């Protein structure tokens, strides 16, 4: 029983580490703010920043790995959306620490 619980906690901790790593960068936080207003293609996201498109792709990958955003291929474009479910989960986790 404890072994199973330890495995679950380790998975949760790894997911939280990915999430906090993703939120630690100001560019990634700004990308989330942009997506809060609506879905955007990668090029539209890149237009808001003065960094290379490969750098934007790297930031998007980190956000996607943390499940903070989702992506859907539409024709030749990849459109990104914010995943608010993960944000709800992290808020619930933070509140649970107060109990």
State the SS3 of 37-68.
CCCEEHHHHHCCCCCCHHHHHHHHHHHHHCCC
Per-domain residue ranges for the chain? 2-97
Query: Residue 16: what pLDDT?
Result: 81
- The third-level CATH classification (topology) of the domain covering 2-97 is Arc Repressor Mutant, subunit A (1.10.10)
Q: What is the pTM of this model?
A: 0.82
What's the chain's length in residues?
Answer: 99
Report the pLDDT value the prediction gives residue 49, as an integer from 0 to 100: 97
pLDDT for residue 14: 76
Torsion sign, CA atoms 63, 59, 61, 44: positive
Regions in the chain scoring below 70 on pLDDT: 1-11
């Amino acid at each position: 029983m404890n072994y199973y619980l330890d495995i679950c906690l380790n998975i949760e901790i790894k997911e939280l580490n990915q999430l906090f790593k993703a939120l630690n960068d100001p560019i990634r936080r700004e990308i989330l703010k942009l997506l809060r207003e609506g879905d955007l293609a990668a090029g539209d996201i890149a237009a808001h920043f003065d960094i290379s498109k490969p750098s934007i792709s790297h930031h998007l990958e980190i956000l996607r790995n943390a499940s903070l955003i989702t992506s859907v291929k539409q024709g030749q474009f990849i459109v990104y959306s914010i995943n608010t479910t993960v944000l709800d989960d992290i808020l619930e986790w933070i509140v649970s620490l107060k109990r």
